[in-house]
Amino acid sequence: MAKYEELMESIITQINDGVWEIGEKLPSLRKQTQISGLSLMTVLNAYQALESQGVIVSHSRSGYVVAPKIIQPAYKRTNPDFEAIEKVDINDIIFDVLQNSRRPNLINFGSVYPDASLYPRAQINRSLANAARTMPASAMIDNFPPGNEDLRHIISQRYAAQGMSVSPDEIVITSGALEGLNLCLQAVTTPGDWVIVESPSFYGSLQSLQKLGLRALSIHTHPQTGIDLKALEVALKSHNVKACWLMTNHQNPMGFTLPDENKQQLSRLLSKHKVYLIEDDVYHELYAGSKKPLPTKAFDHRDMTLHCSSFSKSLVAGFRIGWVAAGAKAEQIQKLQLMSTMAASAPMQLALTNYLTTRSYETHLRLLRKTLAQRKFALWKVLNEHMPKYVKINYSEGGYFIWVELPEHIDARYLYSASLEKNISIAPGAMFSLTKQFQNCFRLNSSFECNEKHIKAIKTLADLIVELNKNAPK
């Protein structure tokens, strides 16, 4: 065992023994070298390894603190492993929540976007102005799939930085990741086909299934480890499945990231059954720790993964620019796009290309990740302080969602309505599932600075929950 590993073990033992409690600060690097007699480099290695394992979290102002991961609430395994849904019919609450998110002065815990002030708006606007000044006439007329060549090159190089070889030729620029995901689903299914989705899952996948007349296999999904691979295998064996739509990193709404071995196994399972994976990876830049998680596509050797992402969560919302890395399906995706929206907006593609080539995206991302991690942790602490004991708060590393479970008899839609009256929004669990399983849950957006106003809003939510718990039928 290396010296840094010995140090790691001893720290983990200390945490388990209660020497360091959740949220508490570990000895600083300098202090730890004095305590352990190890070199600064060894201590740093140990701390970084602990961080990448999610045991501790780094905070610029307070050094390293013990992560909440260790005391996750016990997860109740439900039966059955999966549910087969013949007719996908997702309710109107999604539309309602999104429309209400536009209210002025709303405390927007229900928002799907990060705090707008975290985007590098001045730089983005300068890139847009630059694109406007230099845009050739041809850029407007030649605006057909697969999209801007320079932009596809940059995206290809970002895959290469993760050790993946994705040719610019297999990348198609789309009107946001959502268009890409929809086109992929169209490309590999026909109406009536079975498609695997997570439960709970991003509502966009459920809406797409409904729109395309597809049938859903809704698979049991764990708030920390993601889709249940055993249940997935059973579903694959019992149904003629055509596609599987998953979010593998910082999943919306639960927040988990699939471990690499699960991604590998997932890819192997799907390939074996000749099922395409439509991988929604829009939060991939928002990881915690030091290493960007790989997509499942990195483990796929049979070109069965259509990998979709965008810049909407990490750089700028509202541009509506995403992409698909579609392998051999790229041409079919282009043809489908030509039929749907023709192409993504040309100036938006040029502006992004300008930003990515002339500004420091990495510097922005580093700051964004750090801020999101700090804010998530801060909100988690406030929740733990103010929520009644029977409320379970799921903490996950990366992204900016916290998944909250109320007692089973409380429908979070009531909490949604009641809190909206007090100008606070949440995203109720009913948005994310075709079954009634998650009606007692809701998703919180932790990307906003947790100031007095937000703490007060959390207290209000807690009061409403106490009220609902009293009055709800049991």
Q: Shortest Cβ distance from residue 295 to a copy of itself (Å)?
A: 22
Q: Which amino acid is at 361?
A: Y
Q: Shortest Cβ distance from residue 52 to a copy of itself (Å)?
A: 31
For strand 215-222 and strand 226-227, is the pairing parallel, antiparallel, or unpaired?
A: antiparallel
Q: Shortest Cβ distance from residue 120 to a copy of itself (Å)?
A: 11
* DSSP-derived 3-state class of residue 141: helix
Nearer to a copy of itself, 26 or 247 (CB): 247
Alpha-carbon span 348 to 379, nearest angstrom = 34
Q: Shortest Cβ distance from residue 324 to a copy of itself (Å)?
A: 13
Nearer to a copy of itself, 146 or 289 (CB): 146
**Positions in the binding site for a copy of itself (CB under 8 A):** 92, 94-95, 98-99, 101-102, 111, 113, 116-117, 119, 121, 125-126, 128-129, 131-133, 135, 137-144, 175-176, 178-179, 182, 186, 190-191, 204, 207-208, 210-211, 213, 316-321, 334-336, 338-348, 351
Q: Shortest Cβ distance from residue 405 to a copy of itself (Å)?
A: 27
Nearer to a copy of itself, 49 or 85 (CB): 85
Residue 429 CB-half CA count within 13 A: 23
Q: Shortest Cβ distance from residue 332 to a copy of itself (Å)?
A: 10
Long-range contacts of 304-307 (CB under 8 A, 24+ apart): 304/267, 304/270, 304/271, 304/274, 304/275, 304/276, 304/277, 305/267, 305/276, 305/277, 305/279, 306/184, 306/187, 306/188, 306/276, 306/277, 306/278, 306/279, 306/333, 307/166, 307/279, 307/281
Nearer to a copy of itself, 197 or 232 (CB): 197
Q: Shortest Cβ distance from residue 137 to a copy of itself (Å)?
A: 4
Q: Shortest Cβ distance from residue 139 to a copy of itself (Å)?
A: 6
Q: Which two tokens stand for residue 77?
A: 């395994």
Nearer to a copy of itself, 114 or 327 (CB): 114
Q: Which two tokens stand for residue 173?
A: 């620029």
Nearer to a copy of itself, 204 or 398 (CB): 204
Nearer to a copy of itself, 161 or 328 (CB): 328
DSSP-assigned beta bridge partners for residue 306: 278
Report whether 93 contacts 428 (CB < 8 A). yes
Task: Calculate the alpha carbon distances from 440 to 62, 233, 272 in Å.
Answer: 35, 28, 36
Alpha-carbon span 101 to 424, nearest angstrom = 10
The single-letter DSSP state of residue 52 is H
Nearer to a copy of itself, 44 or 106 (CB): 106
Q: Which amino acid is at 392?
A: K
